[in-house]
Amino acid sequence: MLSKLLTLDEIAQRLAARARGLRLACNIPQKEFAPSAGVSLATLRRFEAGRDVSLRTFLQIMEALGRVDEIEELCGKPDSPALTIAERELREQQAQRGRRQRARRAHS
């Protein structure tokens, strides 16, 4: 799991860097992008620097980048039952076993 390898601050900085990269790939300056996202220039700069912004601000920026659907997909379908901590740990253990087995086969 990514969260086991990185702190929440590191994850936030990665998300901000990816969003900044998407904006730059579209060749849109911050001054033009901020109004289209419905945020102030200072807020956009704060976000892209990896500093705290509200969830709403994050979603507005993602929507302006055309990526809000991907964020929504991360939460799963509404009819999907939530996993318990034990179920999540079991899935992670199974995934790690699968990765180890694939790595062993690749080295054979």
CB distance 75 to 57 below 8 Å: no
d(CA 11, CA 8): 5
Residue 55 has pLDDT above 60, yes or no: yes
The residue with greater pLDDT, 35 or 79, is 35
Residues in the chain: 108
> Any idea what DSSP says for residue 80?
S
The pLDDT of residue 79? 66
d(CA 79, CA 75): 11
Residue 101 has pLDDT above 80, yes or no: no
Residue 28 has pLDDT above 90, yes or no: yes
CATH superfamily of domain region 2-78: lambda repressor-like DNA-binding domains (1.10.260.40)
Band of the pLDDT at 85, cuts 50, 70, 90?
confident
pTM recorded for the entire structure: 0.66
Asked which of 25-34, 50-59, 71-80 is least confident by mean pLDDT, the reply is 71-80
Residue 94 has pLDDT above 90, yes or no: no
